[in-house]
Amino acid sequence: MIKDYNLSDGDFAKLRDIIYREAGIRLNDLKKVLMQSRLIKRLRELNLDNFSEYHDYLLDNFDTEKINFINAITTNKTDFFRENDHFEYMKKVILPGIDRKGLKEIRIWSAGCSTGEEPYTIAMTVFDYYGRRQMPELLLLATDIDTQVLGKARVGTYPGERLAAVDENVISTYFNSDGADPCNYTVKDFVRSKIYFRRLNLLQDEYPMKKQFDIIFCRNVIIYFDRETQTRLFANFYRYLKDDGYMLIGHSENITSITDRFSLAGRTIYRKVL
């Protein structure tokens, strides 16, 4: 029998409600084709004939299938040194400030870390800044809702093409190459060991972390959320950021109409209003 992999408006509406409720991700009508293409693989794996069957399957096996459903829908686009002026600002302004305070520990959170390029870039920037000098203990928490990308991030191995725009010096300092053709590169252990990858749904009311952070990166994540979710999220970030900390969002994101509890310090770089 030929399978009907067309997502009807009705099934789209039902699945869209579920992803919004579970992950805060808001999909407008134009995203129907996107959802269809992202879920087809899952239908094939489960040997289901159509999306209506998938919807029933999801509800019947919610505890286990929810994760696969969320993993399929999330958009995980990322890059090393993405929006690089943020890392330049870290080196020029944020890290010298932390340095002057003589902290024993630098606490950084990459919220929505995808496959790891962002937290690894953050760690490399800290190592670069301190160079050979004694540096504070770096504690870098990297979280995402998607367990599949977190698995890749933990391994820290990337095909050479992912590093095409990365400086040769950075590659030789922070990556081991497997020497194959084409080559894969793995982030060196001294960098990987600084990063704690954890699954965290930013939609949760309470987060498990006990202490505040010096820097919170949440870049290219809030674009998928509606205003209400964004408002709750920034209230959480406000609580989790130290009074003199920094919060960075994506270049195409904006918080001016969402919250007035942060003031602009650089391009999409914010500090707390106290």
Tell the residue number behind the tokens 């725009």, with chain if given. 165
Q: Which of 11, 107, 144, 214 is catalytic?
A: 144
Stretch that binds ligand SAM, among 22-30, 44-52, 60-68, 123-131 (CB under 6 A): 22-30
Our finding on whether 209 is near ligand SAM (CB under 6 A) is no
Can you tell me which of 15, 25, 106, 142 binds ligand SAM, judged by CB under 6 A?
A: 25
- Widest CA span in the chain: 69
Q: At what angle do helices 9-23 and 62-73 cross, to 10 degrees?
A: 100
Tokens of 61: 């096996």
Assess 112 for contact with ligand SAM (CB under 6 A): yes
Measured on CA atoms in the order 255, 257, 260, 263, is the torsion positive or negative? positive
DSSP per residue over 199-230, as a string?
Answer: E--TT-SS-S--S-EEEEEE-S-GGGS-HHHH
Name the residue among 143, 153, 134 with its Cα closest to residue 213: 143
Q: Which of 2, 77, 161, 211 binds ligand SAM (CB under 6 A)?
A: 77
Choice between 26 and 261, CB closer to ligand SAM: 26
In this structure, how many other beta carbons lie within 10 angstroms of the beta carbon of residue 163? 21
Taking the least distance from each CB to ligand SAM, the nearer of 18 and 203 is: 203
Of 36, 74, 236, 268, the residue at the interface with ligand SAM (CB under 6 A) is: 74
Whether 38 is catalytic: yes
Applying CB under 6 A, does 35 fall inside the site for ligand SAM? no
Binding site for ligand SAM (CB under 6 A): 23-25, 74-78, 82, 112, 114, 118, 144-146, 149, 201-203, 219-221, 224, 250
Active site residues: 38, 144
